[in-house]
Structure 1
Amino acid sequence: MRLGLNLRYLGNLGAGADPRTSARYVQEAERLDYAVAWTAEAFSSDAVSLLGYLAAQTSRIELGTAAMQIPARSPAMTAMTATTLDILSEGRFRLGLGVSGPQVAEGWHGARFDRPLARTREYVDIVRMALRREDVVYDGTHYRLPLPDGPGKPLRLGTRPRRKDVPVYLAAVGPRNVELAGEIADGWLSVFFQPETVAEHLPLLRAGRARTGRDLTGFDVVSSMPAVVGDDVADCADRVRMYTAHYLGGMGSRKENFYNRLAARMGYADAARCVQELYLKGRPREAAAAIPRQFLERTCLLGPVERIADTLREHAEAGVTTLSAMIFPVDAEDGLRTLRALADALGKAGVG
């Protein structure tokens, strides 16, 4: 199992207060042999611009989007962006994609959120076609290229990516979307992954892979986990409560919150419902306090290095191949210390 660094979007331009701080984190992660650094986006800073900046500040660590929003860009623009980032990073780019949710898709991007799985399948088809530098001709339900009633003609990507095959990842939460990730992607970007639920997730990935005659060999199972290192587990857990409450309570509407549904499937239905009710009533601190500590301990890297090493070992044994840490530093030096402690924990776990 490898370590990754996820520069969570809630921190505005990554986990640092400014892009230079984020660059310091990624440079330190590179020095410590982390495998990859990821950027993300919602409706604040975008995932792409910071990644281009980081490509110029690093030389070995791979760089990925976790994830670029499918409703925000046409498939052709995503292929153009992936090509540019693969060139700028000298072949270190990983293309992570996600459908986002109905509030962002329809409220921010003006894109319908109907049939997200079918849209994702067609979207990835076109992106891969473009990256192969084929003439893009596509007659799908959601995408038709060229448009049949105008002057458009089939076009081919004018620039070659650095690599023949840019890895594609899908951020997926629901069971059908996880299975789709196994079928059409090279990796799965998971959230709130806990080893106890591996019996639910890995069969879905295997079923998706089997549709194309493949198994999980070489497939990257990525678990993104908040990480706080310290002697007091309860204090560490408190540092990630607001972040978790935002997902369970505010990432979506009352009817459409994929993360809340996931927590319910994990056995926390009552708590997830309570957190959402409090959050939507404008009481986020109470919502954060209502999150069971057990949920945080099972979905985050919390506590002393030895305890975190045990958690890393559990995830490796459950089939996780990349553990991407989201740090919650009080300042830049604290963030750097956290990255070093996590690398130490990986060594103690003996799974690197």
Structure 2
Amino acid sequence: MNAELDLLIRLGDYDRPQDVAERAVQAEDLGFDRITVGETTGWNIVPPLTLAADRTDELGISTDVISPYGRTPAMLAQTALTLQAAADGRYRFGIGPSSPAITERWHGMEFDRPLRRTREVIEVMRTVFEEGNPAYEGEIFEIPGLGYERGPSENPPPIDLGTLGPKATEMAGRFGDGWAPQMFTADGLRDRLEDLERGAELADKDLSDLRVAPIVRCIAAEDREEARAKARGSIAFMLGAYGPYYGNSVAEQGYPDIVEEIRAAWDDRDTDAMAAALPDELLDELAPAGTPEEVREWIEEYSEIDGVDAVRVGFVDGMTEEDKRTTMEAVADLA
């Protein structure tokens, strides 16, 4: 496989931050190129990633993604620079516009102008990276400025964006160093890459200047039907219950009736009906689920989409530790 292989780690799967580091060591031993970890309403992302960076030698460390509402722009810059130092230059900072639920119900902030806020946060962060000062005048942030005590950075981390829609993805191409989309069919990803390329051109960049690393939810097991059942339930939940954005995106990729049926089932909190409403056709488009050989073939084919630099393999709900080990070993054969 020409593309790199990343492993998406969910903090909620572990009892201690140290366990995340142990998974990172396992990923490095298996040949993964990078781990990436998201932050929502669980642990602060910095301690487990610092431990993971300290216990590995070559493995890349990423965040997918940090909210622009949960920390000030200057604190986000401090966070990114701290993790870059802990990882000896192997870190990539990931940010996305977030969602109303996390922004309003967890952080207590108004979910207002998320794309503009994300853009300004990135611009403030780059100002800290390049000038050692967050001084900035924007539409959302007005920061008088104060010197970062370590001064400008000689090796600031790249900034990746996790986005779905055309305008947000254009922003990723224009202001980011990479793109980490999720829940895209192969055709849907190809279409959205056009938006990314348009944004890159606005910044006098080429698509090849960006690290494109789509996230796919994955399970490999010898019991094919059990693997597919777990994947079906997980993907259906993401489409129908996990906020509006994934469902809207997949609907726009050509599956509006299926998304509508899944959402109707969620209105009744009928998770069995949600899973039943997800046909094999769409499951196979969105998630590699089946035997180890089937999963390897799916990921290899997806990685060959023009413009893809890495595939980020995540797990589905309900997986045992044996399922996770089987899945990691199956896809690591491609590394």
Fold match, TM over 0.5?
A: yes
Separation in structure 2 between the aligned mates of residue 45 and residue 275 of structure 1, nearest angstrom: 30
Q: In the alignment, does 2:50 pair up with 1:55? A: no
From the superposition, tell whether residues 160 and 312 of structure 1 become closer, same or farther in structure 2 (CA, over 3 Å). Answer: farther
Checking the alignment, whether the CA contact within 8 Å between 2:132 and 2:152 is kept in structure 1 is no
Q: In the alignment, does 2:5 pair up with 1:7? A: no
Checking the alignment, whether the CA contact within 8 Å between 2:131 and 2:152 is kept in structure 1 is no
Shift of 1:208: 0.4
Checking the alignment, whether the CA contact within 8 Å between 2:17 and 2:47 is kept in structure 1 is no
Q: 1:171 aligns with which of 162, 170, 180?
A: 162
Q: In the alignment, does 2:318 pair up with 1:327? A: no
1:199-278 alignment runs, 5 A limit: 199-252=190-243, 257-278=244-265
Q: 1:76 aligns with which of 63, 74, 86?
A: 74
Shift of 1:333: 4.2
The alignment yields a C-alpha RMSD, in angstroms, of 2.0
2:31 maps to 33
Separation in structure 1 between the aligned mates of residue 171 and residue 255 of structure 2, nearest angstrom: 25
Separation in structure 1 between the aligned mates of residue 147 and residue 278 of structure 2, nearest angstrom: 50
Checking the alignment, whether the CA contact within 8 Å between 2:132 and 2:151 is kept in structure 1 is no
Moved more, 73-82 or 20-29: 20-29
Unaligned stretches of 5+ residues in structure 2: none
> What SS does the aligned partner of 1:68 have?
coil
1:185-204 alignment runs, 5 A limit: 185-204=176-195
From the superposition, tell whether residues 187 and 133 of structure 1 become closer, same or farther in structure 2 (CA, over 3 Å). Answer: same
Identity across the alignment (%): 29
CA deviations 1:87-119 (Å, max 9, x no partner) are 111111110001211122122212222221111
- AA in 1 matched with 2:270: R
Checking the alignment, whether the CA contact within 8 Å between 2:220 and 2:323 is kept in structure 1 is no
Q: 1:308 aligns with which of 283, 290, 295?
A: 295
Checking the alignment, whether the CA contact within 8 Å between 1:237 and 1:293 is kept in structure 2 is no
From the superposition, tell whether residues 250 and 163 of structure 1 become closer, same or farther in structure 2 (CA, over 3 Å). Answer: farther
Separation in structure 1 between the aligned mates of residue 278 and residue 14 of structure 2, nearest angstrom: 26
1:149 maps to none
From the superposition, tell whether residues 130 and 85 of structure 1 become closer, same or farther in structure 2 (CA, over 3 Å). Answer: same
From the superposition, tell whether residues 199 and 322 of structure 1 become closer, same or farther in structure 2 (CA, over 3 Å). Answer: closer
Separation in structure 1 between the aligned mates of residue 171 and residue 139 of structure 2, nearest angstrom: 17
> What SS does the aligned partner of 1:111 have?
coil
> What SS does the aligned partner of 2:208 have?
coil
Checking the alignment, whether the CA contact within 8 Å between 1:192 and 1:224 is kept in structure 2 is yes
Count of matched residue pairs: 331
Moved more, 154-163 or 299-308: 154-163
Q: 1:181 aligns with which of 168, 172, 183?
A: 172
From the superposition, tell whether residues 311 and 161 of structure 1 become closer, same or farther in structure 2 (CA, over 3 Å). Answer: farther
Checking the alignment, whether the CA contact within 8 Å between 1:79 and 1:127 is kept in structure 2 is yes
> What SS does the aligned partner of 1:291 have?
coil
2:325 maps to 336
2:112 maps to 114
Q: In the alignment, does 2:82 pair up with 1:93? A: no
- AA in 2 matched with 1:27: V
Q: Name the TM-score, length of structure 2 as normaliser.
A: 0.92
Separation in structure 1 between the aligned mates of residue 319 and residue 95 of structure 2, nearest angstrom: 30
Separation in structure 2 between the aligned mates of residue 229 and residue 129 of structure 1, nearest angstrom: 44
Separation in structure 1 between the aligned mates of residue 238 and residue 166 of structure 2, nearest angstrom: 18
Q: Name the TM-score, length of structure 1 as normaliser.
A: 0.87
From the superposition, tell whether residues 225 and 17 of structure 1 become closer, same or farther in structure 2 (CA, over 3 Å). Answer: farther
From the superposition, tell whether residues 230 and 160 of structure 1 become closer, same or farther in structure 2 (CA, over 3 Å). Answer: farther
Shift of 1:142: 0.5
Shift of 1:163: 5.1
Checking the alignment, whether the CA contact within 8 Å between 1:237 and 1:297 is kept in structure 2 is no
Checking the alignment, whether the CA contact within 8 Å between 2:130 and 2:153 is kept in structure 1 is no
Checking the alignment, whether the CA contact within 8 Å between 2:162 and 2:181 is kept in structure 1 is yes
Checking the alignment, whether the CA contact within 8 Å between 2:247 and 2:259 is kept in structure 1 is yes
